[in-house]
Amino acid sequence: MKVIIAVEPTKPDIYSYSVAELEEIVVSRFNQPKFRGKQIFQWLYKGISAFQEMSNLPQEFRDRLEREFRFGHLSLIKKHISQDQTEKYLVACADHHRIEIVKMEYHHGISACLSTQVGCKMHCAFCASGKDGFFRNLTAAEMIEQILFIQAQTKKRVASVVLMGSGEPLDNFEEVSKFFQLVHDEDGLNLGYRHITLSTCGIVPKIADLAQLNIPITLAISLHAPTDEIRSILVPINRKYPIKQLLQACHDYVAVTKRRITFEYSLIQNINDSPKMAEKLAYLLQNLLCHVNLIPVNSTLADFSATKTSNVQEFQKILQSHGVNATIRRTLGDDINAACGQLKCSFNDRQVN
């Protein structure tokens, strides 16, 4: 067994920079024409892994770039393939922290489920991601590199992204915001904002900050209960930002962005799956532009059982009878622990077998 000690990389990751930042760097630091910045940026998204592959840059300039920057990369440790062809990758970052990434395939193309943190601080009761604690935020570059990793593995373009892996995206707001800018750039991955979903457990002030960005991503709220008593057990952040505050933030978000919000609701047997709970949820969400994703809770270390299929269907009917749009989410990757709430960082013991 080999023990790896995490060492912080000394050179900055070239994927960290926007076109404008690279243009400023090539002029001020390297005394190169401004257009070289865009050339570098465009090369980064063509599947290359070394500065020497940037064939339209002068050789001396490539050598200097190589000395002063590094290509961020994720190293594959383990790959799991589900019966439904969902793929989960355990990868190591440059400093040897581990994260998990999931590739899902739909009729419209490949969707990438990305992590935004190593571990998580939120400690939601049914989620495995925070069980081993919180280690650090991921950078915007490392989020970009997760997409590039999946594209390299599959030889296909990623068509949509969900920030639903390990971590709470709004707890890493600055880097996630930069990720939006980088992933949307037409000279890079050119991913439309409407093909990006951000899932949060409900950090109210950051929902307001996200609204001010006013970009047409899909906001998904992990609600999971219609009462503060139950939600505070399942989603501890509710003790700081209770349901009334959260829903007001959602109303404000819709008013600014005009975008429909998705509420994720994991149904847990004998806890939040009763018809009475469905009635309470319908009352909460009336007059709000929203959609509810009903998810039979996936197995984790938590001692919860998924509700019966008949209960899920009845819950859906009750919501719909009150005018609340609701669907039952198709679960992918459950057999390889790649479904909602199952990603984790239990490999962060710095050991690789």
User: Please, which pLDDT band fits residue 158 given cuts at 50, 70 and 90?
Assistant: very high
Q: Which residues make Cβ contacts (< 8 Å) with residue 258, sequence separation at least 6?
A: none
Cα→Cα distances 333→47, 58, 103, 112, Å: 27, 46, 9, 13
Mean pLDDT of the chain: 90
**Among residues 147, 149, 177, 172, which one has the least CA distance to residue 162?**
147
The model's pLDDT over 9-31, given as tens digits with 9 standing for 90+, comes to: 579 999 999 999 999 999 999 99
Neighbouring C-alpha atoms within 13 Å toward the C-beta of 152: 17
Secondary structure class of 134 (helix, strand, coil) = strand
Nearest to 331 by CA among 260, 267, 270, 285: 267
Q: What is the mean pLDDT of residues 322-330?
A: 92
How, if at all, do strands 109-113 and 158-163 pair? parallel
End-to-end alpha carbon distance in the chain: 5
Confidence of residue 127 (pLDDT cuts 50, 70, 90): confident
138 close to 99: Cβ distance less than 8 angstroms = yes
pLDDT band at 299 (very low <50, low <70, confident <90, very high): low
Stretch 146-174: mean pLDDT = 96
- pLDDT at residue 73 in the model: 84
| pLDDT for res 211 | 98
Q: Which of 194-198, 246-250, 298-302 has the lowest mean pLDDT?
A: 298-302
Q: DSSP readout, 221-255?
A: EE---SSHHHHHHHSGGGGTS-HHHHHHHHHHHHH
pLDDT higher than threshold 70 for residue 232: yes
Q: What is the pLDDT of residue 330?
A: 72
247 token code pair: 């829903």
pLDDT beyond 90 at 131: no
Rg (CA), the chain: 21
What letter does residue 302 receive in the DSSP assignment?
A: S
Question: What pLDDT sits at residue 68?
Answer: 96
pLDDT score recorded for residue 297: 82
Percent of the chain with pLDDT over 90: 80
Q: Is the separation of the CB atoms in 16 and 139 below 8 Å? A: yes
Catalytic positions, written as ranges: 100, 340
Three-state SS for 88-113 is EEEEECCCCCEEEEEEEEECCEEEEE
pLDDT of 3 higher than 70: no
Across-strand partners of 264? 222, 293
Q: pTM for the whole thing?
A: 0.89
Take residue 14 and report the two structure tokens written for it: 């070239």
Measure the CA–CA gap between 41 and 191, rounded to whole angstroms: 15
Three-state secondary structure call for residue 157:
coil
**Segment 215-240 mean pLDDT:** 97
Beta bridge partners of 78: 90
pLDDT in tens, 234-267: 999 999 999 999 999 999 999 999 999 999 999 9
Please state, for a pLDDT cut of 70, what percent of the chain lies above it.
90
Residue 345, pLDDT > 70, answer: no
**pLDDT tens digit string along 331-343?**
654 544 444 444 4
- Buried residues in 17-55 as b, exposed as e (16+ CB within 10 A): bbbeebbebbeeeeebeeebbbbbbebbbeeeeebeebe
Measure the CA–CA gap between 314 and 138, rounded to whole angstroms.
Answer: 40
| Measured distance CA(182)–CA(296) in Å, rounded | 34
Pick the range with the lowest mean pLDDT from 130-144, 165-179, 278-292, 311-325. 130-144
> Over the stretch 77-104, which tens digit does the pLDDT of each residue have?
999 998 888 999 999 999 999 999 999 9
Q: Which of 135, 130, 205, 139 is nearest to 177 (CA)?
A: 139
Phi, psi of 60 (to 5 degrees): -65, -40
Alpha-carbon torsion (203, 204, 205, 209), positive or negative: positive
Whether the predicted pLDDT of 347 surpasses 90: no
Instruction: State the amino acid at position 35 in one-letter form.
Output: F
